[in-house]
Amino acid sequence: MPRDDRDLYSGLIRLHILHHAEKGTIFGLGMIEELSRHGYRPSAGTLYPILHGLEAKGYLRATEQRNGRHTRRLYRLTPAGRRALIAAKAKVRELFGELFEVE
C-alpha cells in the first residue's frame, strides 16, 4: 500500500479489527499478521494507537493476560462496538454497490 494512501485505508483497518474482534479475542501482533494477509502493512506504532483509540471509544474492551514474564493485552468487542460494526457494514454495503454498479 502506498504511504500516501494510508489515511484512505485507516477506516478499513478499523473495520477489519472490529470484524475480527466480533469473531473472538484479538491481540496486536495477531492483528498485524492478519492485516498483512490482506495486503496492509501496519507497524506496531500504527496499530496499537488504533486499538487504544477503539478502546477509548468503547468499541473494544482490553484485559491483560500474563504468560510468564510477558503480558499480552487481549481485546474483545463491546456491545457498542457491535452496534458500530453493524452500522458500518450497512454503509460499506451501500458504498460497494455504488463503486461496482454497472452503468
Domain boundaries, the chain: 3-99
pLDDT of residue 26: 97
**What's the grid cell of residue 32?**
498485524
What is the tens place of the pLDDT at every residue in 30-49?
999 999 999 888 899 999 99
Fold category of 3-99 in CATH: Arc Repressor Mutant, subunit A (1.10.10)
* DSSP secondary structure, 9-35, as one string: HHHHHHHHHHHHHHHS-B-HHHHHHHH
Residue 93: is its pLDDT beyond 80? Answer: yes
Task: Record the pTM.
Answer: 0.86
User: Taking residues 81-94, what's their average pLDDT?
Assistant: 94
User: Taking residues 11-18, what's their average pLDDT?
Assistant: 94
What is the tens place of the pLDDT at every residue in 54-74?
999 999 999 999 988 889 999
